[in-house]
Amino acid sequence: MRFHTYVILLLSSLVFSQAKAQMYSLTSEDFFIYFDSDSYEITAKQQKLLTDKILSIGGTHIKEIYVEGHTDTFATDEYNTVLAMNRALAAVKALERIGVPRRFIKMESFGESKWVSEVHQQNRRAKVFFIYETDYKSELSPPKWVIIKTIDKKTKKPIKASIGFEYEGQDMKFSLIGSSGVSSAFSLLSENVTISASASNYLTEYLTIPKEDINKPVDTLVYILELNKVKIVGKFTFQNIYFFTDSDEIRPESQSELHKLLAIMQRQKDAFIEIQGHMNFPINRPINSMQKRWNMELSYMRAKAIYNYLITSGISQDRLTYKGMSNFRMKYKLPANKAQGDQNKRVEIYTLKKI
């Protein structure tokens, strides 16, 4: 009883804890519960293995848990659909007995549709998919922290903003700045970082932290990013700029559209543009925290790929800004075919004017 109470308190503390001023990585891990034929009973041994797995991860680190029920290919589809659901429910109840709050768990049943082995025992399973946080370890010694302040360039008033941390050779990290205009203090993971700050109706600003600042004898570096307010005066949509799947590498067949964009920038020499990258991720697809982060990062990196193309083609970087829109503004929330899905992957160019 004491053991279970400890686990419950450990997991419940996640509900009340405040976000720390620290960068985290989301990672995932699978755990499998296997069942006897026609059974959805979880043994005491399996319950203990599940408990040990949660303790090894650390209850307060867990963000989401996905549970899938599966069966072998014996019996009818209808029977296996019900059996797989019962196995998923049994796994959920096992997690709840340990103390996992129900709202952290999502459940799905696949019946016999996802068999994985000719050994039928391997197919009679519930898959428990953990998503949890792990600390990023800084390369800097002694450690260094950074605080970002975002203000309106003209009024000097604080503004809400989203900030991105682009470290060389690492996944991007994202966070938010509230109405105070002051971020939390984030640990710098390395000396090679570019920080972006973007807000609605403002130009995105970028800061590459100078190497000499890293060597300053202070624990925390504070930077003020002044954002210019803008209005949209023009818009171009490019739907035939393609990327390789799950990549920011531009496909060769995009060259004609890129040449059109370059020609516009060369003709309109005073044009200042914002490049927006969009993604196709239908709203009926299951999504978790890792996928959300990836959607934002990939759309950001695709917009940056267009930015880099224009710079290498001779366009001044002072005329360009870029941001990722994830899948927040899809033209087709439930695309019916590949053509509609491709339109969700568009690149939009906004011509902006500073106010």
pLDDT over threshold 50, residue 14: no
| Widest Cα–Cα separation across the chain | 75
Cα–Cα nearest to 28, from 3, 53, 8: 53
Digit-coded pLDDT (tens) for 249-297: 888 888 999 998 899 888 888 778 899 898 888 888 767 666 777 888 8
DSSP 87-124: HHHHHHHHHHHHT--GGGEEEEE-TTTT---SSHHHHS
Determine whether 155 is exposed, middle or buried from the number of CB atoms within 10 Å of its CB (0-12, 13-18, 19+): exposed
Digit-coded pLDDT (tens) for 93-143: 999 988 888 888 888 889 998 888 888 889 999 999 888 877 666 778 888
Q: What topology is assigned to 145-227 in CATH?
A: Immunoglobulin-like (2.60.40)
Percent of the chain scoring above 70 in pLDDT: 90
Least confident of 128-142, 176-190, 201-215, 307-321: 128-142
Rounded average pLDDT over 180-186: 91
- Highest mean pLDDT pick, 22-26, 54-58, 67-71: 67-71
Digit-coded pLDDT (tens) for 210-247: 989 998 888 999 999 999 888 888 888 887 888 877 78
**Residue 156 has what pLDDT?**
96
Alpha-carbon span 318 to 209, nearest angstrom: 18
Percent of the chain scoring above 90 in pLDDT: 32
Q: What topology is assigned to 2-135 in CATH?
A: 60s Ribosomal Protein L30; Chain: A; (3.30.1330)
Alpha-carbon span 61 to 300, nearest angstrom: 27
Q: Where in the chain are the domains?
A: 2-135, 145-227, 230-354
**Residue 164 has what pLDDT?**
87
pLDDT over threshold 70, residue 11: no
**Residue 6 has what pLDDT?**
36
What CATH code would you report for 230-354? 3.30.1330.60
- Answer yes or no: same fold for 145-227 and 230-354: no
How high is the mean pLDDT of the chain?
A: 84
